[in-house]
Chains A and B, each alone.
Chain A
């Protein structure tokens, strides 16, 4: 699988078509799911943004990305309602396979997970932290995959409507639905393909 992917990349980026450097950003809704939260019907959600910078040739793009995943949900514990914060940021690399009106994306990421829960009573805080398996400050690896629709707004601008799943190994997963813009940098800014 890895060899096939490498061959595809080499073939793509060594073809006669010149490469394009693109940059973009997105903003949208994120929902977080994890087994201990799903069990008690807790579904944190929030709004996050992201950015990416990539190089593309033919229909394949290789990009680095950043995505913020701030989410919050309500738990009911020991007779009270409290907020559980399940934030994370993702930094990683992905392959983007672009077609006429849609694209698919697949990548790996490093996640900075910061979850918190604040209950005044210390014993309740401790019990709830255990029940909901709160991950206070951890760095984990994972994957992302998704896809969406895109189309030209002008010669260099594209709109993007994206669905992605950011999956953190052993922790949980975020589903995001966002809108974004991507911009193809003109060659006069970056003289790629001339070397």
Chain B
């Protein structure tokens, strides 16, 4: 604001609406905005900037999560992409979807001539899915709890996709779990701001939930999120990530070890990596990787971890999968035909709510 205040002084006050009053207002407003929130600590350093824990001073000091994003100021003021993405987030907020983290406020200030800082204030939820799974005592989540979490996850993803937003980075670290067990998606919708105006950071982005088309072609359409959902479904059972590659190529190799190397016809065109660079192998039975999964869950998982993005199940279709149908489920549990093992576990001290220490 400094440049502008000096400038306002320079205006002279000969024209009707006096300039000096303008200056005062700017200052007042600026300090006023800042005093609304007080930072109390750092929550995490993401690839895209830092997230702070703060207090909303106007709201009884309630905790909030403040995400700070630096964006380049242009000749034409705030970049169009940043303006559009942020206003889309605000628009989305009007629906108050239960599986989406609440966006409480948007602030911004000018850091330097060329840099603007955008502050997004979200509700504070102290537990993400990764922590939730860590805290979960042996023998893990029961099948009902897994199904409930999966239903909430797909509901959130379906909502985003219905509003033409691709999350692009779904992973346990940005899926939040409230103390009431509600699942909420965070960190979506800003991907395009980041990719245009991202600062180079040394933070390593995890590849473990990336769809093969992202790794091969850098393609980002809605199916990429469903692949991530598949990885997460497996992780809910195993309580550890499904495929942990350390590089793009290693991640792809691990994917093909599981689902088999796609056929020549399935292999996409215009990919720098030829199909020949991977060893030909048949798909592995999923229960080898996810021993506790029942046949219906396995069917859904197979449809999520489909190589071809066009044939991969959509969020809407997944929600209609019989995995989520109660009648089937009651049949499943009452008859104990197939998965008697997991069922007996369920009555055997398996917690639906992990014990937080």
* A, B: real partners: no
